[in-house]
Each structure stands twice: as structure tokens, then as C-alpha cells.
Amino acid sequence: MTTSLDAFRVRITGGVQGVGYRAWARGQALQLGLTGWVRNEADGSVSALIIGSQGATGSMLERFWSGPAGSSVSDVKAEEATLDEVPSDFRIVR
């Protein structure tokens, strides 16, 4: 039986650096059983790649809006991603 996976590249903007957003996002992703990564960008945004079931990716896209205490999310933009390979875990990329 083959399970279909959804994959999204996400850009989160607002007050999302210096507030533990990446660690929070990793914890949320692991709770949902997602794989992928999250990283800070030079422009002050946070980028992520999330891969998992439709329900899990949908939940994570909603959760990105809340963020950890101290964050202030102004926008979450997601686009479908094509994958050459699926990561085996969810990590913070530096």
C-alpha cells in the first residue's frame, strides 16, 4: 500500500527570529509526524519544508500562524514542493 505525501515550501514573516520559532516549529512538526526542515533567512523570515499526510501538513500550516510565545506572525505563504527525496526526520537547518 502506498501512502501519498504532501510537500510544501513555506515562508513565515513577521517577528519570527530570536523568539525560538525554529525550535517550536520542529516540536510541532515532530508531534504531527512530519519530516523536512526549518531555517532562518537573511531577510528576517523563516523558511520551512514540510512533508507528510494531507491532514498533518494542513495542521502544520495552521500552526505556523500561532508560533511560540513572543513571536508575531504577519504572513504564512505556502507553495507545493516537488521532491527528489524525502528526508527521514525534521531538523533545524542553520
Q: Is the residue at 33 inside a domain?
A: yes
The model scores a pTM over 0.85: yes
Residue of 87, 39, 34, 86 lying closest to 63 (CA atoms): 34
The CATH code of the domain that includes 47 is: 3.30.70.100
Please say whether the beta carbons of 36 and 87 come within 8 A.
yes
Mean pLDDT of the chain: 95
Q: Please report where in the chains the cell 513572543 appears, as a residue.
A: 70
The predicted pLDDT at position 3 comes to 65
Question: With pLDDT > 90 as the criterion, what percentage of the chain qualifies?
Answer: 88
Q: What is the pLDDT of residues 45-67, one digit of tens each?
A: 999 999 999 999 999 999 999 99
User: The domain containing residue 21 runs over which residues?
Assistant: 6-83
Phi, psi of 55 (to 5 degrees): -65, -40
Beta carbons within 8 Å of 58's beta carbon, 6+ residues apart: none
Q: Is the residue at 92 inside a domain?
A: no
Residue 1 — very low, low, confident or very high, per pLDDT cuts 50/70/90? very low
Looking at the structure of the chain, the number of domains it has is 1
Residues acting as catalytic residues: 22, 40
